[in-house]
Structure 1
Amino acid sequence: MSGWRTLLERDAAGALRCPVCRQGALALSGEDLACGCGARFPVDQDRHIAALLPPESIASEAKSNIRAWWGDLYEQLYGPTDKGLTPERLEHLLDLTEDLFRRRGLLPVVEMPLAQLAGSQVLEIGPGGGGHSCLFKRHGASVTAVDITPQRAISTALRLSLVKGDEGRAYQGDAENLPFRDGVFDIVYSNGVLHHSSDTDQALAEVHRVLKPGGKAVLMLYARHSAVFWANIVPRGLFSGEMFRWPEAEWVGRVTEGKPKFGQTRNPFTRIYSETELRQALRAFRVVSLRKNSFQFDNFAIPRLTQLRNAVLKALGHRPHPGAELVYGAAEFVPETALELWLGQFMGFGWNIVVEKVA
């Protein structure tokens, strides 16, 4: 407890800023973080979390829906794993997760080489259940995670407290109004999150602001020209009629990421980017690299195609991987075949992005 409080005090003195006046420093005052402008933000000492949301983020209907939907999905995917999680169990799951990421050629091991993270100040926006942040901490980074959904911020704080490594902390905050001073982080990492924001352009502007000059953002955003979009999302939008009822980001949101289980709120927003649209959104940065991946033969709107793919691949000798629990909430996952990995360069749903803040 005292170690976490010391870390919070140091962050308040050197890294945090008030998300209300957007310039004042924060200081611990009783059970709150306080700013000279009069704003106060609650600190949960037991869960090692501080809620740094401005009133407009709390009152916004769009952001309330974002919190409701992603909180629902947290309970579906990550809640069961968090129950009874121990340091030993987490270390084992991280070993499996890292191996699965390498087999799949994913962002956190290709564009974010883990061996190079020691000593870096890393911010993760939208950590989900904290699996990626824990990997970065284990490899020597000083990790800060921020998520607008309280359940996800709390889960990340729990997992960071259990894993060995450098420093790790989590805050509840808004990607469109990050509670950090300018130029704090060496790396800002966000995997499949910013395209779900109510204002992705503003979130990208915040990424740029909190990076040090010469710092890098490592991001994954969804690709428009992909099998998932044209052969799955578009047909589902057409057949459901959602395409004709909502703006694109909203109807795509409603037909992606799953269905609510503990409430009624659907996924509010999902944005999709062509390369031209992507470069326009990233115009404040210098683009270092763009890479597509994430294609599987079940990326088509055909009922039970995932089950069929998995059954065929298992019959052909492709064994399920046990490393999906921590980040996907699945007991097992059948990784991409060599052919799927190759096709992902052209038809993949993920833009893997490295951009730099020019000094």
Structure 2
Amino acid sequence: MSLRDASLDCPACGESHPLDSARMIAALFSQDSRGGLKDNIRAWWGDLYEQLYGPTDRALDSGQMESLLDQTEDLFHRRQMAAVMEMPLDRLAGQEVLEIGPGGGAHSCLFKRHGASVTAIDITPQRAISTAFKLSLVKGGRGRAYNADAENLPFQDNSFDIVYSNGVLHHSEDTDKTIAEVFRVLKPGGKAILMLYARHSAVFWGSIVPHGLVSGEMFRWPEPQWIGRVTEGKPKFGQTKNPFTRVYSAKELDRLLAAFIHRRYRKSSFQWDNFAIPRLTQIRARLLRLLGHSAHPGGVLVYGAPFVPETKLELRLGRAIGFAWNIVAEKPA
């Protein structure tokens, strides 16, 4: 891409993409990424952005950002998340990293602060803008964000050392296509570090399936759509519900990631409120407070509010019945 006036010009495809020069955000979409269900995806995740991140973004400066990143990194270690376990931060200096679906930008900012050259793309304009703003507040490394579609990545083959995506690709209209794009833009020997939802988990069998049965959504829609409609919360600023959510068994991951070698899967993310029992979330929080487990401020950048991390017992159980598959898969050299 080259910058010309108020657009980015692509010499490969000949397309010109409008540039918001104030925010330095370009919408790098092909025709396949416009309209239809993709507009519903943008609408839903834009609604959730405003619920979770909008208030934080409007009050953020560089000093607060640095402090919140310290807390976020600590929370990631406590929760044993892929951003610090599968992707050691002390090895990122000089690496070309693509993050797909940065949410509010916390993960990308953490990678940039540890010396990576970060490119972040999100199909939702608000989230791309939020990530670009936060990257501008962080010292070290290089960072840029674009409004783009994971099914049609606007990058050349063999461009990145690492493609990272945390809990995003299973919400795509065509997850198989996103994985093919991840493979394409990785350099030979590069690594995909992904988090996808686990089918055989307490959340799926203890919460999602009961909600699907009781609501009747399970009988009205294909699996990715009914799971989407009963997960990720409710719209607040519009009417569009979450269009897609997929879950995977280990065998299904093997099929999805068949082009990669040296695949490693690790489960995590179990909490006692992962079951469809009324007020179980409030009961868990109250009991943990009584036991001295307070909400961690590192949740603000990632979840929009302080977050009570898993206990040691929950971490152990997460290895068997957690909802998160933490994945490392390598592109053959």
Q: Give 1:321's aligned residue.
A: 296
**Pairing partner for 1:341 from 311, 315, 325:** 315
Secondary structure of the residue aligned to 2:236 is coil
Q: Say whether residues 1:116 and 2:91 are aligned partners.
A: yes
Cα distance, 1:29 vs structure 2: 2.9
**For residues 22-61 of structure 1, what are the structure 2 equivalents within 5 Å?**
27-35=2-10, 38-59=14-35, 61=36
Q: Say whether residues 1:89 and 2:68 are aligned partners.
A: no
Q: Give 2:110's aligned residue.
A: 135
Cα distance, 1:145 vs structure 2: 0.1
Q: Say whether residues 1:301 and 2:279 are aligned partners.
A: no
Deviations 1:57-82 (A, max 9, x none): 122x1100000000000000010110
Deviations 1:235-277 (A, max 9, x none): 0000000000000000000000000000000000000001100
**Pairing partner for 1:145 from 95, 98, 120:** 120
Q: TM-score, normalised by structure 2?
A: 0.98
Secondary structure of the residue aligned to 2:47 is helix
Q: Give 2:328's aligned residue.
A: 354
Q: Say whether residues 1:257 and 2:247 are aligned partners.
A: no
Cα distance, 1:125 vs structure 2: 0.2
Structure 1 gap segments, 5+ residues each: 1-11, 13-26
Q: Give 2:259's aligned residue.
A: 284
Q: Give 2:154's aligned residue.
A: 179
Q: Say whether residues 1:232 and 2:207 are aligned partners.
A: yes
Cα distance, 1:135 vs structure 2: 0.1
Q: TM-score, normalised by structure 1?
A: 0.91
State the number of aligned residues. Answer: 332
In structure 1, how many angstroms separate the alpha carbons of the residues matched to 2:293 and 2:10?
56
Deviations 1:258-297 (A, max 9, x none): 0000000000000000110011000010133110000000
In structure 2, how many angstroms separate the alpha carbons of the residues matched to 1:199 and 1:249?
10
In the alignment, residue 46 of structure 1 is paired with which amino acid? A
Cα distance, 1:35 vs structure 2: 3.8
Cα distance, 1:303 vs structure 2: 1.6
Secondary structure of the residue aligned to 2:152 is coil
Q: Give 1:222's aligned residue.
A: 197
Q: For the aligned residues, what is the CA RMSD? A: 0.9
In structure 2, how many angstroms separate the alpha carbons of the residues matched to 1:131 and 1:185?
20
In the alignment, residue 179 of structure 2 is paired with which amino acid? L
In structure 2, how many angstroms separate the alpha carbons of the residues matched to 1:307 and 1:101?
22
In the alignment, residue 292 of structure 1 is paired with which amino acid? K
Structure 2 gap segments, 5+ residues each: none
Cα distance, 1:304 vs structure 2: 1.4
Q: Say whether residues 1:266 and 2:241 are aligned partners.
A: yes
Secondary structure of the residue aligned to 2:98 is strand
Q: Deviation above 4 Å: which 4+ runs of structure 1? A: none
Q: Give 1:8's aligned residue.
A: none
In the alignment, residue 344 of structure 1 is paired with which amino acid? G
